[in-house]
């Protein structure tokens, strides 16, 4: 029991510690791909520390919700990220929230982020919130369809169980292929990456996430940035644990097996970071009103995957 | 015993109506009547909760020598009725508590006070009724009492229109139910439900009864496309009545549907489940889409009721499908999900209507575009609205998520269904439900963000004051229950088990014995959810991070004008409005939304301003109701000459009709 708790605690700490590094790797790789030197991969840590030490400049019209939201968003995202198996399966608290709950926790974080964007009462915040909920209203159903596909193949919505069953081998399935493509598309949209949103922009016509958090400063901004890092980590870990589950250590494995699991996870993160950077540099950002087409495609792929499973399942 | 006691309380509620008339002029009439109806609702709540948890004996029925002389009036409480009585009287109790404070703002008391207890009593009687005659009488009384309450503010022409549409639709619904019970009763006139259950029913008649039940109960619950009256009538009533109509009366309609289709019809046709699931999915998405577009706070809430009714009907349809295919465990799960969502919806929708009513009485405004910044002026109302909005948006760890999660779990069990139609429909319905859940979050971010956050858009909103203590107490009771049910959904699931058992014959495994009170609907390895632990983790990590950052990093705060990209504009009109917030979603779902945009550019040389107009129109009106109204008008015109005939012509017409009917009878047999 104590050992299980320890693994869970290590997992929570690791996700928090590694999340800025992943974003640093993506930024570095993007810089190298555009023939710039780029900042060190540890720059996100320095940014966070700098923001944490600064005082908060709070708009006159901000309410308590604006001040509470960063903590809520951070807590919900962190808990969600900690429930995704990263290096070992069978986390002690994995039964308290299944994959649907993890998605809904991220939904809660977004709910409060969108509200915080509207709290100060500026046009920028509103435009960001409005676009964010539009994107979410298509990305969330697509994500649930993917969850349905995985759950139907594995016979469970528990992420640990899904990973265990998938690592035992479920064969090559068309539905899973569709789900993988759809999941990557949703991950790109949910994390505000190019071509849906540009995390580096400050041009009003293209902003979504940045417009919502425009009024944030100091420690509040640090928490929101860290939540965004965590969310990227969560999606990469999720794709890794579902589609490359063989490196996950068993909860009862020895220390060496665990360490191997951690190394494999870090390798997966690095690979995903470089791939994401390559993808982002090779594609242009799309107009906001093209995003529904992009996400609609992912929703349809997810639905098609579920439909295939429904149709091919022999009747009992 | 329990039934008799319940009838006594209901009779006391009924007696409150004339009492209200008698003391209308006294200054304490408001507090006395609402206080008394609150106490009686509370008594009925305790009684029905006892009946649900402790169980009722089958012979606990009462027959009164009322109604039709040869059958009398039958009443009984079975677990299904008890479950709905709990929903009903919980809503009634909080609405009465709220009205003790809120009712003081009423100008024309005589139009609300007598009808409110009568409305509550009639709804109770619908659920208590044990025969078709009593049921229909109570159903019609419920419709009429609520119609009178909708017409309370009759000087507003929009309310009069709402009243007319409601009356027509309610009559249509009752007609469908009369026909349904007529078919169930058969030629021998079995009016008592017990006799109907035993009577055989041909497949054709069973199919007809199911269709009529969908039409009759569905029109009252707000199934698309029978929903058009709901967003007109629910907001027109005083706010505590809106809460009752949206939170409770739609549940009475759902009770009616469950009673007829699951209980009274011995074998519903196989296609019924597919129809119900499809209607439910469409209702969910269409309802929430119009909620996003509506700028009237109460109308938006009414449209969101339509959405939630759709979610409940998806659960009911799945339960019907599983039961027809002898999968009792899955059927029990789907039914539990539907009933739990019905209960949850009555909680958060009541709280939301109470909060909207508090805003209405504080500002006199229902239009979101004129509100804003109310979180500063009405902090407690804003908090209630926020929690209830999070609950209705199905965010963990609140109660809306628990029932939505159960519905998804039921969908995940459905690939085992043998019917091809369901194999194709259920995944699509799952997709529609997911879409509706995401759109609901968008709709409530918009409603809360525009009305309560930002800066006040009108002087009325800037000068709003917090509402009275009675109203606040009612709101806090409702949202506290939302939180409790969200953290410990297992208790609610266990409480609903007897009701599920009555209609399905099975129930989900007992939840109160699972470790850590998790929700485990099927099996440990299959899926589980623990709202309490999720809440604990989020609360712990949130407060730990807040504590750590304040201790170790910084705690300084400086107030300054908003940054807004460097060019803040002091006018509150530069904020994002409700209309512009909905614009991206309106464009994405343009074919469904029925919104028409037009831009008028003045001719060159003219100094007139260019104008942008947006008209919102429910397509159901254009596609279904306008043709019907036109057809009825044409038929009426055609029949008009028959008003002015001589007595001889009338007599010959009567004779011809008689001959025709006799011929029909002769051919039929």
Do A84 and A102 touch, CB atoms closer than 8 A?
A: yes
Dist. CA B205–CA B117, nearest whole Å: 37
The proportion of chain B whose per-residue pLDDT surpasses 90, expressed as a percent, equals 71
Probe site for chain A from B549, B560, B589 (most A CB atoms < 10 A):
B549
For the ranges A197-211, B98-112, B219-233, the lowest mean pLDDT is seen at A197-211
Residues in Cβ contact with B643 at an 8 Å cutoff, skipping those fewer than 6 apart: none
Which chain A residues have a beta carbon less than 8 Å from that of B375?
A: 63-65, 119
**Residue pointed to by tokens 């201790």:** B551
Element (H, E) at B73: strand B73-76
Confidence class of residue A35 from pLDDT cuts 50, 70 and 90? very high
Is residue B51 helix, strand or coil? helix
Average pLDDT, chain A: 90
Backbone φ and ψ for A151, nearest 5 degrees, come out as -65, -35
Backbone φ and ψ for A154, nearest 5 degrees, come out as -90, -15
Do B117 and B20 touch, CB atoms closer than 8 A?
A: yes
Is residue B529 helix, strand or coil? strand
Confidence class of residue B468 from pLDDT cuts 50, 70 and 90? very high
Do A126 and A118 touch, CB atoms closer than 8 A?
A: yes
Which chain B residues have a beta carbon less than 8 Å from that of A63?
A: 375-376, 453
Across the interface, whether the CB atoms of A72 and B427 are under 8 A apart is answered: no
Alpha helices in chain A (DSSP H): 2-33, 43-53, 64-82, 99-119, 123-154, 159-168, 174-190, 209-212, 218-243, 255-281, 291-312
DSSP A238-275: HHHHHHSGGGPBPTT--HHHHHHHHHHHHHHHHHHHHH
Backbone φ and ψ for B64, nearest 5 degrees, come out as -105, 145
Domain residue ranges of chain B, discontinuous segments joined by +: 270-507+514-521, 619-668
Which chain B residues have a beta carbon less than 8 Å from that of A107?
A: 393-395, 438, 441
Question: Two tokens at A244?
Answer: 């490359």
| Of B394, B418, B416, nearest in space to B406 by CA | B394
Distance (Å) from the alpha carbon of B230 to chain A's nearest alpha carbon? 25
Distance (Å) from the alpha carbon of A299 to chain B's nearest alpha carbon? 8
Across the interface, whether the CB atoms of A55 and B533 are under 8 A apart is answered: no
pLDDT score for B69: 78
Strand B61-64 versus strand B611-616 pairing type = unpaired
Question: Two tokens at B364?
Answer: 């006199």
> pLDDT tens-digit profile of B43-81?
999 999 999 998 776 667 888 888 777 788 999 999 999
> pLDDT tens-digit profile of A260-287?
989 999 999 999 999 999 999 999 888 8
Burial of A275 from C-beta contacts in 10 A (0-12 / 13-18 / 19+):
middle
Backbone φ and ψ for B170, nearest 5 degrees, come out as -65, -40
Across the interface, whether the CB atoms of B565 and A124 are under 8 A apart is answered: yes
Across the interface, whether the CB atoms of A223 and B583 are under 8 A apart is answered: no
> pLDDT tens-digit profile of B317-343?
999 999 999 999 999 999 999 999 999
Confidence class of residue A316 from pLDDT cuts 50, 70 and 90? very low
| Of B31, B416, B437, B50, nearest in space to B429 by CA | B437
Question: What percentage of chain B's residues is helix, strand, coil (to nearest 5)?
Answer: 75, 5, 20
Average pLDDT, chain B: 92
Residues in Cβ contact with A281 at an 8 Å cutoff, skipping those fewer than 6 apart: A30, A33, A34
Residue range B286-297: average pLDDT?
94
pLDDT score for A158: 87
Domain residue ranges of chain A, discontinuous segments joined by +: 2-312
Across the interface, whether the CB atoms of B417 and A315 are under 8 A apart is answered: yes
Given a cut of 80, whether residue B414 has pLDDT beyond it is: yes
Question: Two tokens at A45?
Answer: 């840590």
Question: Two tokens at A264?
Answer: 């494999």
- Write the ipTM: 0.95
Nearest to B533 among A82, A96, A138 (CB): A96
Is residue B569 helix, strand or coil? coil
Given a cut of 80, whether residue B450 has pLDDT beyond it is: yes
Do A233 and A15 touch, CB atoms closer than 8 A?
A: yes
pLDDT score for B514: 78
Residue range B378-389: average pLDDT?
97
Dist. CA B149–CA B582, nearest whole Å: 32
DSSP B121-187: HHHHHHHHB-BHHHHHHHHHHHHHHHHHHHGGGTTSHHHHHHHHHHHHHHHHHHHHHHHHHHHHHTT
Question: Two tokens at B461?
Answer: 């909103």
The proportion of chain A whose per-residue pLDDT surpasses 90, expressed as a percent, equals 63
Given a cut of 90, whether residue B439 has pLDDT beyond it is: yes
Q: What is the pTM of this model?
A: 0.95
pLDDT score for A145: 93
Question: Two tokens at B399?
Answer: 């109660």
Across the interface, whether the CB atoms of A303 and B543 are under 8 A apart is answered: no
Distance of alpha carbon A136 from its chain centroid, rounded? 13
pLDDT score for A205: 67
Given a cut of 60, whether residue A315 has pLDDT beyond it is: no
Which chain B residues have a beta carbon less than 8 Å from that of A289?
A: 584, 587
The proportion of chain B whose per-residue pLDDT surpasses 70, expressed as a percent, equals 99
Burial of B408 from C-beta contacts in 10 A (0-12 / 13-18 / 19+):
buried
Across the interface, whether the CB atoms of B556 and A214 are under 8 A apart is answered: no
Element (H, E) at B596: strand B595-600
- The region, left, alpha or beta by phi > 0 then psi within -120 to 50, assigned to residue B454 is left
Nearest to A115 among B418, B449, B516 (CB): B449
Is residue A35 helix, strand or coil? coil
Dist. CA B621–CA B227, nearest whole Å: 10
Question: Two tokens at A28?
Answer: 């570095």
How far apart, in Å, do the first and last CA atoms of chain B sit? 45
Across the interface, whether the CB atoms of A74 and B541 are under 8 A apart is answered: yes
pLDDT score for A314: 53
Q: Which residues pair with B74 in a beta bridge?
A: B63
Given a cut of 50, whether residue B559 has pLDDT beyond it is: yes
CA nearest to B428 within chain A: A303
**Residue pointed to by tokens 């129930």:** B507
Given a cut of 50, whether residue B474 has pLDDT beyond it is: yes
Nearest to A316 among B416, B524, B546 (CB): B416
pLDDT score for B516: 75
> pLDDT tens-digit profile of A139-186?
999 999 999 999 999 888 888 888 888 888 777 788 899 999 999 999
DSSP B363-392: HS--BGGG---HHHHSHHHHHHHHHHHHHH
Dist. CA B189–CA B194, nearest whole Å: 12
């Amino acid at each position: 029991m104590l050992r299980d708790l320890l693994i869970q605690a290590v997992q929570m700490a690791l996700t928090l510690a590694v999340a800025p590094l992943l974003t640093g790797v993506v930024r570095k790789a993007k810089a190298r791909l555009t023939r710039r030197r780029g900042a060190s991969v540890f720059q996100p840590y320095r940014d966070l520390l700098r923001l944490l030490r600064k005082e908060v400049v709070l708009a006159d019209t901000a309410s308590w919700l604006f001040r509470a939201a960063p903590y809520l968003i951070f807590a919900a995202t962190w808990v969600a990220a900690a429930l995704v198996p990263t290096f070992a399966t069978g986390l002690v608290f994995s039964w308290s929230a299944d994959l649907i709950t993890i998605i809904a926790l991220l939904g809660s974080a977004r709910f409060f982020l969108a509200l915080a964007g509207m709290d100060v009462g500026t046009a920028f915040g509103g435009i960001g919130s409005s676009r964010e909920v539009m994107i979410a209203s298509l990305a969330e159903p697509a994500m649930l369809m993917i969850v349905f596909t995985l759950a139907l193949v594995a016979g469970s919505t528990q992420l640990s169980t899904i990973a265990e069953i998938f690592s035992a081998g479920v064969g090559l399935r068309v539905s899973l292929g569709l789900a993988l493509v759809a999941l990557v598309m949703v991950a790109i949209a949910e994390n505000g990456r190019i071509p849906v949103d540009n995390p580096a922009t400050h041009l009003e016509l293209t902003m979504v996430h940045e417009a919502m958090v425009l009024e944030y400063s100091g420690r509040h901004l640090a928490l929101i940035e860290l939540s965004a890092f965590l969310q990227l980590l969560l999606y990469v870990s999720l794709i890794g644990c579902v589609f490359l589950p063989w490196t996950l250590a068993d909860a009862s494995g020895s220390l060496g097996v665990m360490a191997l699991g951690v190394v494999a996870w870090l390798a997966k993160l690095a690979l995903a970071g470089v791939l994401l950077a390559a993808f982002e540099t090779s594609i242009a950002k799309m107009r906001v009103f093209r995003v529904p087409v992009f996400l609609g495609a992912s929703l349809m792929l997810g639905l098609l995957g579920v439909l295939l499973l429904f149709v091919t399942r022999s009747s009992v | 015993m329990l039934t008799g006691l319940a009838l006594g309380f209901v009779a006391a509620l009924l007696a409150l109506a004339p009492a209200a008339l008698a003391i209308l002029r006294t200054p304490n009439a408001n507090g006395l009547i609402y206080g008394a109806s609150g106490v009686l609702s509370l008594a009925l709540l305790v009684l029905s909760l006892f009946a649900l948890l402790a169980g009722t004996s089958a012979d606990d029925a009462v027959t009164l020598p009322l109604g039709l002389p040869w059958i009398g009036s039958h009443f009984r409480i079975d677990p299904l009725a008890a479950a709905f009585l709990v929903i009903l009287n919980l809503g009634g109790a909080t609405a009465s508590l709220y009205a003790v404070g809120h009712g003081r703002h009423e100008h024309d008391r005589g139009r609300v006070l007598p009808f409110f207890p009568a409305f509550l009593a009639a709804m109770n009687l619908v659920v208590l009724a044990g025969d078709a005659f009593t049921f229909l009488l109570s159903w019609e009384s419920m419709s009429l009492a609520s119609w009178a309450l909708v017409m309370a503010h009759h000087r507003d022409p929009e309310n009069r229109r709402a009243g007319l549409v409601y009356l027509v639709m309610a009559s249509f619904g009752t007609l469908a139910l009369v026909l349904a019970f007529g078919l169930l009763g058969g030629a021998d006139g079995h009016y008592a439900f017990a006799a109907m259950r035993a009577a055989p029913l041909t497949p054709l008649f069973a199919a007809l009864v199911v269709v009529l039940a969908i039409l009759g109960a569905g029109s009252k619950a707000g199934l698309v496309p029978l929903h058009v009256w709901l967003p007109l009538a629910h907001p027109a009533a005083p706010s505590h009545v809106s809460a009752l109509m949206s939170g409770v009366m739609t549940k009475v309609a759902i009770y009616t549907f469950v009673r007829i289709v699951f209980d009274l019809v011995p074998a519903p046709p196989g296609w019924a489940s597919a129809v119900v699931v499809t209607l439910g999915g469409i209702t969910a998405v269409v309802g929430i889409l119009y909620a996003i577009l509506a700028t009237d706070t109460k109308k938006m809430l009414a449209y969101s009721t339509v959405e939630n009714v759709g979610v409940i009907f998806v659960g009911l349809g799945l339960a019907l499908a599983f039961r027809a295919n002898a999968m009792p465990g899955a059927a029990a799960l789907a039914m539990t999900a539907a009933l739990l969502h019905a209960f949850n919806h009555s909680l958060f929708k009541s709280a939301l209507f109470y909060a909207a009513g508090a805003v209405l009485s504080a500002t006199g405004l229902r239009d979101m575009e004129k509100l804003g910044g109310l979180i500063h002026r009405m902090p407690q109302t804003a908090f209630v609205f926020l929690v209830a909005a999070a609950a209705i948006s199905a965010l963990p760890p609140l109660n809306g998520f628990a029932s939505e999660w159960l519905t998804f779990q039921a969908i995940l069990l459905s690939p085992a269904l043998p019917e091809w139609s369901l194999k194709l429909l259920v995944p699509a319905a799952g997709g529609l439900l997911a879409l509706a859940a995401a759109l609901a979050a968008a709709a409530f971010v918009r409603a809360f963000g525009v009305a309560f956050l930002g800066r006040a858009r009108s002087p009325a909103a800037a000068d709003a004051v917090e509402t009275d203590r009675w109203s606040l107490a009612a709101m806090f009771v409702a949202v506290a229950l939302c939180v409790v049910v969200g953290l410990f959904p297992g208790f609610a699931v266990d409480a609903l088990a007897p009701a599920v058992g009555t209609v399905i014959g099975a129930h989900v495994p007992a939840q109160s014995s699972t470790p850590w009170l998790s929700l485990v609907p099927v099996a440990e390895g299959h899926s589980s959810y623990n709202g309490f632990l999720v809440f604990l983790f989020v609360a712990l990590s949130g407060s730990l991070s807040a504590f750590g950052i304040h201790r170790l990093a910084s705690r300084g705060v400086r107030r300054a004008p908003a940054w807004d990209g460097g060019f803040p504009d002091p006018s509150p009109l530069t904020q994002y409005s409700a209309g512009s917030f909905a614009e991206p979603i309106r464009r994405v779902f343009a074919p469904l939304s029925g919104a028409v945009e037009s831009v008028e550019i003045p001719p060159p040389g003219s100094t007139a301003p260019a104008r942008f107009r947006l008209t919102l129109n429910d397509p159901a009106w254009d596609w279904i109701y306008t043709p019907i109204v036109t057809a009825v008008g044409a038929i009426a015109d055609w029949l008009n000459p028959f008003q002015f005939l001589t007595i001889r012509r009338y007599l010959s017409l009567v004779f011809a009709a008689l001959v025709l009917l006799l011929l029909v009878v002769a051919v039929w047999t």
